[in-house]
Amino acid sequence: MIEEMLPGIVRLEIPLPRSPLKATNSYVVLDPERPLVIDTAFNRTECRESFLLLLRETGCTPDGVDYFVTHLHADHLGLAASLARNGARVYFNEPDLPLARPANSYWEWMGRLYEQHGLPLSDAREAMARHPGRIYGPEADYPYTIMHDGDVLHRGGYTLRCVQTVGHTPGHMCLLVVEDNVLFCGDHILGDITPNITMWTGMTNPLGCYLESLDRVAALQLSRALTGHRSMIDDCASRIAELREHHANRLEEVITSLKDGEKDAAAVTPDISWDLKYDCWDEVHPVQKLFATGETIAHLQYLEAHSAVRSRNHRGRMLYRLSAA
């Protein structure tokens, strides 16, 4: 599906087969010299075919455009490096760069890290083997053009300014259409679902960073947000308030769970309300367990940063307890 969002800016809805996200919203800023594509989709055959078909309907070719990728996740980055040819630029943020195409050793290390947080060995290994970032990420490295907060691109008569929104990933980068105060927001704010905020190596408080980024975007007083998935957001202030409330409620659920005593993150996770369909936690797919456990860890880290929770490493296992306990 192709839909005009602003004059000369269109949305391509790229299906994500068998993914709960359903589709990625890719955008094209049309320009007589060099159009700009914002985000792509998984590097898999079905996504590639859909993307190429829709892109051609706009009059563009994959090697006749440049790409701006909001963040490292494969449902946004996957196809860009695979399709960029003949000098096409792929604009990308610097903090996400080391994880754009990590080695197998990274996935093995991450699996062991989740095991330390209580995820069963079998679940951790299966989740790492089937992680979308591992199987649908870029097929090769690429000489990305690094963009920083405040950098500007000019395409299609628009001024496009980079707005760094750390949290969903270490370097998540939005793109502001200055003339219309409209934000290409990737996965920073979403209208129908809540962005996953998980733990990251090198980040001690990703949820805290995310909440600060929400405040930064709220201060822009946007007229509209063009999201990475599903519906657009017209009342950005209300949606940001809802996202803040969502995380406040989740933090309360974590605290309530820890009132039972010291636990690892995997033991806290089933006590949290998730938008998943299951009768018992053991039925949940290992990849979904991984995402949920990662989000639990991020909330525990936030509480620890605010002195509400304490952690300790007990025989290779990370345990958390309430500070007052």
Write out pLDDT tens, residues 176-188. 999 999 999 999 9
Task: Provide mean pLDDT across the span 152-167.
Answer: 98
Q: Is the pLDDT of residue 287 over 70?
A: yes
Both tokens of residue 134? 């591992």
Both tokens of residue 237? 């202030």
High-pLDDT (> 70) share of the chain, %: 100
Region of residue 174 (phi > 0: left; psi between -120 and 50: alpha; otherwise: beta):
beta
Contact 253, 273 (CB under 8 A): yes
The per-residue pLDDT for 121 is 87
The per-residue pLDDT for 325 is 59
Q: 201 lies in a domain?
A: yes
Q: 320 lies in a domain?
A: no
High-pLDDT (> 90) share of the chain, %: 92
pLDDT mean across residues, the chain? 96
Spatial separation of the C-alpha atoms in residues 229 and 132, rounded to whole Å: 16
The per-residue pLDDT for 93 is 98
Spatial separation of the C-alpha atoms in residues 222 and 300, rounded to whole Å: 31
CATH number, domain containing residue 87? 3.60.15.10
Per the structure, the complete domain to which residue 156 belongs is given by 2-101+137-234
pLDDT band, very low/low/confident/very high, at 279 (cuts 50, 70, 90): confident
pLDDT band, very low/low/confident/very high, at 1 (cuts 50, 70, 90): confident
Q: 85 lies in a domain?
A: yes
The per-residue pLDDT for 168 is 98
Which of 34, 14, 120, 116 has its CA nearest to residue 75?
Answer: 14
9-52 pLDDT, tens digit per residue, is 999 999 999 898 999 999 999 999 999 999 999 999 999 999 99
The per-residue pLDDT for 197 is 98
Spatial separation of the C-alpha atoms in residues 6 and 146, rounded to whole Å: 26
Spatial separation of the C-alpha atoms in residues 262 and 277, rounded to whole Å: 27
Q: Domain tally for the chain? A: 1
The residue count for the chain: 325
The per-residue pLDDT for 86 is 82
Task: Provide mean pLDDT across the span 60-69.
Answer: 96
Q: 109 lies in a domain?
A: no
Q: 311 lies in a domain?
A: no
Q: Where are the alpha helices (DSSP H) in 39-137?
A: 45-57, 74-77, 80-83, 104-116, 121-129, 132-135
Contact 73, 169 (CB under 8 A): yes
pLDDT band, very low/low/confident/very high, at 303 (cuts 50, 70, 90): very high
71-111 pLDDT, tens digit per residue, is 999 999 999 998 998 889 999 999 999 999 999 999 999 99
Q: Is the pLDDT of residue 253 over 80?
A: yes
Q: 96 lies in a domain?
A: yes
For 254, the enclosing helix (H) or strand (E) is helix 236-258
Residues 6+ apart with CB under 8 A from 169: 71, 72, 73, 95, 96, 99, 200
The per-residue pLDDT for 47 is 98
Q: 182 lies in a domain?
A: yes
The per-residue pLDDT for 260 is 94
Q: 265 lies in a domain?
A: no
